[in-house]
A = this chain, B = another copy of it.
């Protein structure tokens, strides 16, 4: 038996009651630890909450050793595979489901919130989002800009764009790429909204197609679903100046002004930079 269990977005208590019951019934637990690990949903915190040991499943384990390490055990034992957010949210684990079913393993999926729906908290209608894009950390020689064309298309269609920002967890060091048995990893990195904006502007500066500029209206979202979540609406320039605090960050590039519904605008206003700074002062 294989349970694939979404953990939601905030902390250890965002698991569903059904999910927690499944966890309690499991003989073995794995935590998917490379696509969307959250600072407040960490292994030790979950272990304490569940009263059970958890094994970390890194990219290599999930993509290359899934059958041997996870699925073979699910043939005879009850295995729980824990995923931050929803198992089929931003990153899908459909592959594991398909492979498990081919091996005649019973699979149950326990859904939860993901950034793909929780982003609605900012007041923009989920209906009005186009294709979602991912921004990855640029290196000196590698600056993938496929997001640019997608944002362009979305804005042409009058749609908002959710930008998911890069997470680098358990990335092998250069030394380790040559000698994998060393298992040395770089410290985890989470792209900030500020970094994302720099990349966006860098590509606009290169491509010059006028898809967005410093005055384009955006919504920054940090730690969605947590008590201290931070949602701020303003121009790219304004949002770049803010301190967004701990990860995870996401960014929404709004549709062109004429395509934003007046009700959306009313809701966004609550999150405006001006109101945000006012609330900060009051606290």
Contacts and interface: CB of A to CB of B under 8 A. Distances in A.
Interface of A: 6, 8-11, 13-18, 20-21, 86-90, 92, 94-95, 97-98, 101, 108-114, 116-121, 123, 125-134, 153, 157, 159, 224-225, 227, 263, 266-267, 270
Contacts of A132: 126-127
A92 B111 contact: no
Given A92-B125, A130-B130, A113 B112 contact: yes
Contacts of A121: 87-88, 94, 109, 111
A224 B110 CA distance: 10
Contacts of A123: 92, 94, 98
Given A20-B17, A126-B132, A131-B129, A113 B116 contact: no
Contact of A131 (B13, B90, B127, B266): B127
Contacts of A153: 157
A88 B126 contact: yes
Nearest to A270: B98
Contact of A120 (B86, B118, B224, B267): B86
A209 to B, nearest CB: 17
18 contacts: A14-B16, A14-B110, A14-B111, A16-B16, A86-B117, A88-B119, A98-B267, A101-B270, A108-B227, A111-B118, A111-B121, A111-B224, A111-B225, A112-B113, A129-B131, A130-B131, A131-B157, A153-B157
